């Protein structure tokens, strides 16, 4: 089973016991957090949120706070004598996914029936359009 969750403005595909690096989160090492903005889950059946799935949480534990490798930013305009060198280190948090909770297979069955309803509406609208008489114009 995996889920797509939004953490600190970015979307990640996560699974149970997975470790990943995300933008710096508030909290101390060892703190447990949960994210409720789950966009999609897959557990045999696909469940999509609009925009998020209700009552599904991704529980994480903060393992470490660190900085990424330095990225050198070098700007130059040739023949002008202009050079500018700058560096950047992104602040990151290493987290481990402890669990995806609140997922129920009954919810996915409800979502599938809801998805089928708009198709029926579309067919009904098409039938109404076909039933209208055509207007004849005199030339």
Is 135 part of a structural domain of the chain?
Answer: no
- In the block, tokens 């595909």 appear at 13
Is there a cis peptide before residue 26, judged by omega within 30 degrees of 0?
Answer: no
The domain containing residue 15 runs over which residues? 2-103
Is 36 part of a structural domain of the chain?
Answer: yes
Q: What is the pLDDT of residues 19-39, one digit of tens each?
A: 999 999 999 999 999 999 999
- Provide the phi-psi class of 59: left if phi over 0, else alpha when psi is between -120 and 50, else beta: beta
Is 89 part of a structural domain of the chain?
Answer: yes
pTM value is 0.67
Total domain count for the chain? 1
Is 115 part of a structural domain of the chain?
Answer: no
Is 24 part of a structural domain of the chain?
Answer: yes
Task: Determine the Cα–Cα distance for residues 3 and 12; give it in Å rounded to an integer.
Answer: 8
> Residue 35 in contact with residue 11, Cβ under 8 Å?
no
Is 126 part of a structural domain of the chain?
Answer: no
Is 88 part of a structural domain of the chain?
Answer: yes
Whether pLDDT at 50 is above 50: yes
């Amino acid at each position: 089973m995996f889920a797509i969750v939004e953490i600190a403005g970015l979307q990640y595909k996560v699974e149970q016991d997975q470790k990943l690096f995300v933008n710096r989160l508030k909290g101390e090492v060892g703190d447990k957090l949960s994210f409720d903005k789950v966009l999609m889950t897959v557990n045999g059946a696909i469940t999509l949120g609009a925009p998020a799935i209700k009552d599904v949480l991704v529980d994480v534990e903060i393992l470490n706070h660190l900085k990424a490798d330095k990225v050198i930013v070098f700007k130059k305009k040739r023949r002008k004598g202009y050079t500018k060198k700058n560096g950047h280190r992104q602040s990151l948090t290493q987290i481990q996914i402890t669990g995806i909770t609140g997922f129920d297979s009954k919810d996915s069955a409800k979502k599938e029936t809801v998805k089928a309803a708009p198709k029926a509406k579309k067919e009904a609208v098409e039938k109404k359009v076909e039933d209208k008489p055509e207007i004849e114009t005199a030339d």
